[in-house]
């Protein structure tokens, strides 16, 4: 939810944000008009209700039957007008609320443009391998996974349909190693680890901003009126709904470990091979509640932790500043880390971290108390590990014979295993 007072006082800032996102600029003026209508109708309602109270008191003070009858008639008329004014005020408030919930977060520093207008901030990690100089053509992750008998998409499709899979043996252990390494990294830096619900109410899902333009990506269970989460960010954002937090000693930081579900409704024909874009996966997600003035610094902190994980597993990657038009509704700015995918000669997103400023907290009524007043906190999130990392790990660490070297940083989590070979 946006700050309506700030929008009234600084409308051009909001128009600029909409322009940068490629969104509806006129929405700003519709919200301003709706807010004016709400305040006007509310003032009318309150004025009539105050008059009604005065007239109601005059009934008991009437000195004659005639005066009492006149006062009663006036009170009855005012009661009708109050009911009408209240209905009009409630409708104006509902209209404003609907329009305000359509407004995406105001960007803070994100480059303008769409999906292809990101800015590359830097390249990190080892140089991508030159497989030609090593004398062999790299195999993609699915070919490697099937050859090693650690990924099975055919039986996944047989059991559940397309974009489902089984991880087997060292494949399952590799996913668990990534998640456990992320858990260790987060707890080392003061995050409280949590297993989170993967079903949430419409209020929580909507409060986090996920029921906007991309609502069709979310699984919905109508019989229960619950949504399956595509990230534990949703459950972690909802954790402190309607609460006043004490941030005097610093931010509240959590690491959510959960299975995630995405319909991938808009992904027809995209990454249909293997486990890059699937309906179910596991993810370790950082989440922080901070004071608004500390949000930018916290954003850099989450990005640094993501990069520490990528260095741990030795992947070549780049960091991009995501363009405004490619941000989620709740994000004011987002940094992605993209690992090199040699068989597709491209960079593939493996982490993202978003600064949602006070947008989610306003919707979910999460505040802090300072100087005797309450105000919304800021929320941030960031991926620390997910199933998709297996794709980049297999492809970047393969050998000519189809085996895969386990990154040194993950070996303690793999029982000391150094090379993944076909199971006997």
* Residue numbers annotated as active site: 262, 277, 349, 352, 388
105 marked ligand binding residue: no
CA atoms within 13 A of residue 326's CA, in its CB half-sphere: 18
Burial-class residue 156 by CB neighbours within 10 Å (0-12, 13-18, 19+). buried
Percent helix, percent strand, percent coil in the chain, to nearest 5:
45, 20, 35
134 marked ligand binding residue: no
233 marked ligand binding residue: yes
349 marked ligand binding residue: yes
232 marked ligand binding residue: yes
421 marked ligand binding residue: no
280 marked ligand binding residue: yes
Strand 192-195 to 252-261 pairing: parallel
By C-alpha distance, which of 348, 423, 424 is closest to 172? 423
89 marked ligand binding residue: no
383 marked ligand binding residue: yes
Question: Which string of DSSP letters, residue by residue, matches 269-336?
Answer: TSS-STTSS-SEEEEEEEEEEE-GGGHHHHHHHHHHHHHHHHHHTT--EEEEE--GGGS-TT-SEEEE
279 marked ligand binding residue: yes
For residue 154, give the 3-state DSSP assignment: helix
281 marked ligand binding residue: yes
Query: Strands, E, within 10-76: which ranges?
Result: none
Known binding positions: 231-233, 262-264, 278-281, 285, 349-352, 381, 383
Known binding positions for ATP: 262-264, 278-281, 349-352
Known binding positions for L-serine: 231-233, 262, 285, 381, 383
């Amino acid at each position: 939810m946006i700050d309506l007072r700030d929008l009234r006082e600084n409308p051009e800032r909001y128009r600029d944000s909409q322009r940068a996102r490629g969104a509806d600029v006129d929405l700003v003026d519709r919200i301003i008009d709706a807010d004016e209508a709400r305040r006007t109708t509310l003032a009318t309602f309150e004025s009539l209700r105050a008059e009604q109270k005065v007239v109601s008191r005059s009934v008991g003070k009437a000195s004659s039957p005639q005066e009492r009858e006149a006062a009663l008639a006036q009170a009855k008329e005012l009661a009708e007008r109050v009911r009408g004014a209240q209905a009009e005020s409630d409708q104006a408030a509902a209209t404003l609320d609907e329009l305000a919930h359509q407004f995406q977060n105001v960007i803070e520093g994100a480059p303008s443009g769409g999906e292809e207008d990101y800015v590359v901030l830097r390249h990190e990690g080892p140089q991508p391998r030159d497989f030609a100089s090593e004398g062999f053509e790299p195999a993609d992750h699915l070919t490697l996974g099937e050859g090693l008998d650690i990924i099975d998409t055919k039986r996944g499709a047989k059991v559940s349909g397309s974009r489902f899979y089984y991880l087997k043996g060292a494949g399952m252990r590799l996913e668990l190693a990534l998640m456990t390494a992320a858990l260790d990294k987060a707890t080392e830096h003061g995050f409280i680890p949590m297993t989170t619900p993967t079903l949430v109410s419409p209020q929580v899902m909507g409060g986090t901003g996920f029921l906007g333009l991309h609502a069709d990506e979310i699984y919905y269970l109508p019989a229960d009126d619950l949504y399956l989460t595509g990230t534990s960010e949703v459950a972690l954002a909802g954790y402190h709904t309607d609460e006043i937090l004490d941030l005097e000693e610093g931010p509240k930081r959590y690491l959510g470990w959960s299975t995630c579900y995405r319909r991938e409704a808009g992904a027809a024909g995209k990454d249909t091979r293997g486990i890059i874009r699937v309906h179910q996966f596991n993810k370790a997600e950082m989440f922080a509640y901070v004071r608004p003035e500390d949000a930018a610094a916290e954003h850099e902190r989450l990005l640094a932790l993501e990069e520490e994980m990528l260095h741990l597993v030795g992947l070549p990657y780049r960091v991009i500043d995501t363009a405004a038009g490619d941000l989620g509704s709740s994000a004011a700015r987002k940094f992605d880390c993209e690992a090199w995918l040699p068989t597709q000669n491209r960079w593939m997103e493996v982490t993202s971290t978003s600064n949602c400023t006070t947008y989610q907290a306003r919707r979910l009524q999460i505040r802090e108390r300072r100087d005797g007043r309450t105000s919304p906190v800021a929320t941030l999130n960031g991926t620390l590990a997910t199933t998709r990392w297996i794709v980049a790990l297999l492809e970047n660490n393969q050998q000519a014979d189809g085996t895969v070297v386990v990154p040194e940083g993950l070996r303690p989590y793999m029982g000391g295993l150094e090379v993944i070979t076909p199971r006997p």
